């Protein structure tokens, strides 16, 4: 590496637990002990993970609501501008502005905007796609985290005291512990 | 014990055998990671042959123009609309299973939702070909489908149900695709980590978007998935309602009825579930999915087919009743003369047999749990629902009010070629799907197994506590 010394990657302590219950308990304990930047890695959503990590209410519903309302406004104003203001089409003297006829498209655009914001919004909140993450440096993680492993990761600066964290996790009964130093890519 | 949780009404397990996360992972990804067998290549070759029929028919339609179709005056809507409605309807079962059954917390959906959602996507793709092609020269026609400032200085007429259709179907496709892909991301991560070859690891890794099962991700992800389900639920009901408005908003005898939206939605779900059975019965055998797609799942689907078949039958009965009760001679003539005794009466009675009579056998448990029998009934339902769309589209148009303006309809070779061709497109896409993507939502199955295990433990704990009293 040309400028290897200037690169200061993060350091992770990665621990594996036998069961999801052990993972949940350990996460809660570590968080209550004051450890920051905890994360869990499980093959499927484990019930109670939000409480264990101390997460608040999810943010995505707010995004979706805003975009669904934006969809309603967009659709109705688009139809109104095009069919009433810019180029009214008078068919047999029926009302130019007919709200019932606008309902279907207004509804569809609310769903379209809301649905797209749900997908792209959650991708933004998760900061994905991002193909690289230091936890992937662990072979064990790559083999098991998406299959049947329950992992806990603690992030710290590159010179963080991994020993203290390792000791704390060992007490909690982790089946496997390793320290990952982020390498430059 | 995995299957320890007993439902009083149906004690059969959702997942058969003693399974672990690892065993589910291996068994459900096996069909993707193994090489393609002779059977797959045979089917794929047949599908490609049918797909080439689509290519030729599309090419001929574009070269010759819309005159290559059998549409005429007075039957200005022919095979194009029949096939469009048929395919869109088939797609609806996928959204019902993935979204509505999710909101109703129906656990049996988990084994079949990925499969059915894929079916939705491919069916909508097939459906979209027809409205796009029926414009003749699609590249000139786009201005009245999409609101953009064209040189014609004219906007679409938003009071037309055909415009609603454009928005409904394009929204439906987009949302179904996003919903499907969002559910797929964790499974693609499992595939990335389970694959042995570097190419597979790379490609699946690319589509897995760097998923690492983070708890912080799951917290938002679960909600995003649920919100998409919540949005898809009214969406799927709206799509076929709006498709039915294409007919119901007109004043043709046989079309101008208020029962159309619910009756179309029921028919859509009816035909969609039949198509799922048609594909799933062989697929669960060849892909090795029998332990997650059990007889319980198939039987539940057959019950839905029975229920929606009864709704469709009720729809037919109501149409006929109102035709008589309205006192309109045109309505009466349409239902009791033209359809039952007119030139297309054979198709009418085939429709009645396939949609009203055939599902009635499902009252018997021995028949609705018989694999061969359910496969045959599903084919009948597919045919019956196509006949229904033929009857609705053609009979109302070919003999409307004035006998002097009556006409006849017969499809051309191009019409038939387009229809067979879309079946080829659907089959090709489906076979590719079953080769490259896990056909069962692996992550959700693991989660279900985990939940069932916890419930079984809780129940055993409860029994132990109860015994101490």
Q: How far is CA B430 from CA B124, B165, B351, in A?
A: 13, 25, 27
Contact assignment for B179 to A115 by CB distance below 8 Å? yes
Task: Give the Cα separation of A142 and B410 in Å (integer).
Answer: 60
Mutate: best of B22, B30, B146, B171, partner A, most A CBs <10 A: B171
**Helix, strand, coil percentages for chain A (3-state, nearest 5):** 50, 15, 35
Give the closest residue to B31 by CA, choosing from B115, B95, B98, B108.
B115
pLDDT value at residue B130: 93
- Give the closest-approach CA distance of A160 to chain B in angstroms: 22
Task: Give the Cα separation of B122 and B398 in Å (integer).
Answer: 31
Task: Give the Cα separation of B113 and B301 in Å (integer).
Answer: 12
Does residue A101 sit in helix, strand or coil?
helix
Contact assignment for A119 to B21 by CB distance below 8 Å? no
Contact between A60 and B227 under an 8 Å Cβ cutoff? The reply is: yes
Axis-axis angle for helices B79-95, B215-248 (nearest 10): 150
Give the closest residue to A149 by CA, choosing from B33, B25, B440, B14.
B25
Contact between B243 and B267 under an 8 Å Cβ cutoff? The reply is: no
Query: If you count them, how many residues does chain A have?
Result: 185
Mutate: best of A71, A86, A119, A131, partner B, most B CBs <10 A: A119
pLDDT tens for each residue of A41-95: 999 999 989 999 999 899 999 999 999 999 999 999 999 999 899 888 888 888 9
Q: How far is CA A96 from CA A80, A85, A92, B164, B330, in A?
A: 9, 9, 10, 17, 32
Measured between beta carbons, the chain A residues lying within 8 angstroms of B159 are 83, 91, 94, 98, 101
If you ran DSSP here, which 8-state letter would residue B394 be given? I
Low-confidence stretches of chain A (pLDDT < 70) are 1-5, 185
Which residue in the set B163, B189, B220 is minimally distant from A60, CB to CB? B220
Q: Locate B340 and state its tokens.
A: 């039952």
- Give the closest-approach CA distance of B291 to chain A in angstroms: 18
Predicted TM-score (pTM) of the model is 0.92
Axis-axis angle for helices B79-95, B113-133 (nearest 10): 160
Contact between B430 and B279 under an 8 Å Cβ cutoff? The reply is: yes
Give the closest residue to B406 by CA, choosing from B170, B179, B73.
B73
Q: Locate A28 and state its tokens.
A: 């809660």
Number of H helices, E strands in chain B: 19, 0
Measured between beta carbons, the chain A residues lying within 8 angstroms of B25 are 43, 147-148
pLDDT value at residue A171: 85
From chain B residues 417-446, the ones with a CB under 8 A of any chain A CB are 443-444, 446
Buried b (16+ CB within 10 A) or exposed e, B363-395: eeeeebebeebbbebbbbbbbbbbbbbbbbbbb
Cβ neighbour number for residue A13 with a 10 Å cutoff: 24
Q: DSSP per residue over B13-54, as a string?
A: -SS-SS--HHHHHHHHHHHHHSPP-HHHHHHHHHHHHHHHHH
Contact between B441 and B110 under an 8 Å Cβ cutoff? The reply is: yes
Contact assignment for A52 to B211 by CB distance below 8 Å? no
ipTM of the complex, rounded to two decimals? 0.92
Measured between beta carbons, the chain A residues lying within 8 angstroms of B181 are 119
CB-based burial label for B317 (10 Å; 0-12, 13-18, 19+): exposed
Contact between A35 and A129 under an 8 Å Cβ cutoff? The reply is: no
Axis-axis angle for helices B371-390, B79-95 (nearest 10): 140
- Give the closest-approach CA distance of A73 to chain B in angstroms: 15
Contact between A49 and B221 under an 8 Å Cβ cutoff? The reply is: no
The owner of tokens 């060849």 is: B286
Query: Could you write out the three-class secondary structure of B139-208?
Result: HHHHHHCCCCCCCCCCCCCCCCHHHHHHHHHHHHHHHHHHHHHHHHHHHHHHHHHHCCCHHHHHHHHHHC
CB-based burial label for A5 (10 Å; 0-12, 13-18, 19+): exposed
Query: If you count them, how many residues does chain B have?
Result: 469
Question: CB-hemisphere CA count at 13 Å for B23?
Answer: 10
Q: CB neighbours of B318 closer than 8 A, spacing ≥ 6?
A: B259, B263
Q: Locate B65 and state its tokens.
A: 């123009």
Cβ neighbour number for residue B185 with a 10 Å cutoff: 21
Measured between beta carbons, the chain B residues lying within 8 angstroms of A147 are 21-22, 25, 190, 193-194
Q: CB neighbours of B139 closer than 8 A, spacing ≥ 6?
A: none
Mutate: best of B210, B227, B234, B243, partner A, most A CBs <10 A: B227
Which residue in the set B147, B164, B171 is minimally distant from A112, CB to CB? B171
* Nearest-by-CA chain A residue for B152: A87
Measured between beta carbons, the chain A residues lying within 8 angstroms of B236 are none
Which residue in the set A45, A60, A98 is minimally distant from B227, CB to CB? A60
Task: Give the Cα separation of B77 and A74 in Å (integer).
Answer: 32
Q: Touching check for B162 and chain A: CB below 8 Å?
A: no
Rounded to 5°, angle at Cα B37 from B436 and B119:
40
Is the CA virtual torsion B171, B176, B179, B185 positive or negative? Answer: negative
Contact assignment for B223 to A58 by CB distance below 8 Å? yes
A/B interface, count of CB pairs below 8 Å: 201
Cβ neighbour number for residue B242 with a 10 Å cutoff: 26
Contact assignment for A122 to B21 by CB distance below 8 Å? no
B99-104 contacts at long range (C-beta below 8 A, 24 or more positions apart): B99/B179, B99/B228, B99/B229, B99/B230, B99/B232, B99/B233, B99/B236, B100/B229, B100/B233, B100/B236, B102/B226, B102/B229, B103/B229, B103/B230, B103/B233
In chain B (469 residues long), the average pLDDT of successive 10-residue segments reads 58 84 88 87 96 96 92 90 94 86 86 91 94 86 74 81 92 94 94 91 93 92 93 93 92 90 92 93 90 92 95 95 93 93 93 95 94 95 95 91 90 95 96 92 91 83 53
Give how far the C-alpha of residue B437 lies from the chain's centroid of Cα atoms, to the nearest Å: 18
CB-based burial label for B177 (10 Å; 0-12, 13-18, 19+): middle
Q: CB neighbours of B433 closer than 8 A, spacing ≥ 6?
A: B118, B122, B439
The owner of tokens 């539940």 is: B300
Contact between B431 and B71 under an 8 Å Cβ cutoff? The reply is: no
Task: Give the Cα separation of A17 and A144 in Å (integer).
Answer: 11
pLDDT value at residue B469: 41
Task: Give the Cα separation of B375 and B298 in Å (integer).
Answer: 10
Q: CB neighbours of A13 closer than 8 A, spacing ≥ 6?
A: A153, A154, A156, A162, A165, A166, A169, A177, A178, A179, A180
Q: Touching check for B167 and chain A: CB below 8 Å?
A: yes
Q: DSSP per residue over B287-326, as a string?
A: TT-TTTS-HHHHHHHHHHHHHHHHHHHHHHHHHHHHHHHT
For residues B111, B115, B120 and B126, what is the CA-based torsion angle, rounded to 10 degrees? -160
């Amino acid at each position: 590496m040309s400028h290897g010394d200037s690169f200061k990657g993060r350091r992770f302590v990665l621990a594996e637990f036998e069961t999801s219950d052990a993972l949940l308990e350990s996460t809660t304990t570590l968080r209550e002990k004051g450890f920051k930047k905890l994360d869990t890695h499980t093959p499927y959503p484990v019930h109670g993970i939000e409480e264990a990590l101390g997460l608040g209410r999810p943010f995505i519903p707010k995004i979706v609501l805003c975009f669904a309302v934006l969809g309603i406004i967009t659709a109705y104003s688009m139809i109104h501008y095009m069919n009433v203001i810019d180029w009214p089409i008078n068919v047999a003297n029926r009302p130019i502005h007919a709200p019932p006829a606008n309902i279907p498209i207004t509804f569809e655009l609310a769903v379209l905007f809301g649905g797209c914001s749900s997908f792209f919004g959650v991708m933004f909140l998760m900061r994905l796609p991002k193909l690289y993450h230091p936890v992937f440096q662990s072979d064990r993680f790559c083999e098991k985290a998406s299959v049947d492993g329950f992992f806990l990761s603690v992030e710290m600066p590159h010179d963080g005291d991994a020993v203290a964290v390792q000791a704390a996790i060992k007490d909690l009964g982790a089946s496997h512990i390793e320290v990952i130093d982020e390498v430059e890519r | 014990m995995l299957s320890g949780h007993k439902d009083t009404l149906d004690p059969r397990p959702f997942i058969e055998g003693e399974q672990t996360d690892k065993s589910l992972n291996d068994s459900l990804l096996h069909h993707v990671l193994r090489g393609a067998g002779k059977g797959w290549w045979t089917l794929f070759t047949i599908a490609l042959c049918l797909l080439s029929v689509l290519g030729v028919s599309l090419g001929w339609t574009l070269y010759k123009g819309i005159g290559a179709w059998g549409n005429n005056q007075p039957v200005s809507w022919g095979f194009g609309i029949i096939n469009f409605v048929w395919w869109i309807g088939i797609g609806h079962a996928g959204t019902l299973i993935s979204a509505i059954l999710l909101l109703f917390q129906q656990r049996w959906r988990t084994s079949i939702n990925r499969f059915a959602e894929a079916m939705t996507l491919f069916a909508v793709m097939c459906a979209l070909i027809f409205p796009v092609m029926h414009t003749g020269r699609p590249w000139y026609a786009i201005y009245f489908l999409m609101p953009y400032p064209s040189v014609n200085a004219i906007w679409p007429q938003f009071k037309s149900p055909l415009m609603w259709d454009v928005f409904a179907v394009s929204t439906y496709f987009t949302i179904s695709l996003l919903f499907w892909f969002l559910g797929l991301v964790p499974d693609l991560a499992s595939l990335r980590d389970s694959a042995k070859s570097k190419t597979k690891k790379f490609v699946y890794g690319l589509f897995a978007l760097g998923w690492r099962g983070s708890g912080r991700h799951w917290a938002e992800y679960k909600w995003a998935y649920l919100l998409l389900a919540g949005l898809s639920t009214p969406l799927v009901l709206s799509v076929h309602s709006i498709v039915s408005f294409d007919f119901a908003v007109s004043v043709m005898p046989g079309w101008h009825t208020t029962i159309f939206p619910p009756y179309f939605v029921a028919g859509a779900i009816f035909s969609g579930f039949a198509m799922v059975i048609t594909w799933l019965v062989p697929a669960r055998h060849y892909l090795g999915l029998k332990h997650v797609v059990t007889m319980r799942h198939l039987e539940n689907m057959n019950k839905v087919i029975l229920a929606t078949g009864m709704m469709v039958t009720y729809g037919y009965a109501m149409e006929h009743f109102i035709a008589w009760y309205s006192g309109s001679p045109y309505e009466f003539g349409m239902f009791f003369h033209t359809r039952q005794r007119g030139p297309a009466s054979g198709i009418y009675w085939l429709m009645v047999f396939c949609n009203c009579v055939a599902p009635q056998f499902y009252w018997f448990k021995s028949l609705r749990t018989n694999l061969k029998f359910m496969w045959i009934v599903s084919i009948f339902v597919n045919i019956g629902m196509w006949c229904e769309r033929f009857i609705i589209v053609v009979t109302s148009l070919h003999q409307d009010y004035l006998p002097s303006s009556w006409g006849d309809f017969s499809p051309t070779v191009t019409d038939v070629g387009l229809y067979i061709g879309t079946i080829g497109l659907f089959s090709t896409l489906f076979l590719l799907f079953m080769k490259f993507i896990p056909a069962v939502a692996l992550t959700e199955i693991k989660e279900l197994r985990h939940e069932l295990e916890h419930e079984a433990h809780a129940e055993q704990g409860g029994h132990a506590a109860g015994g101490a009293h």
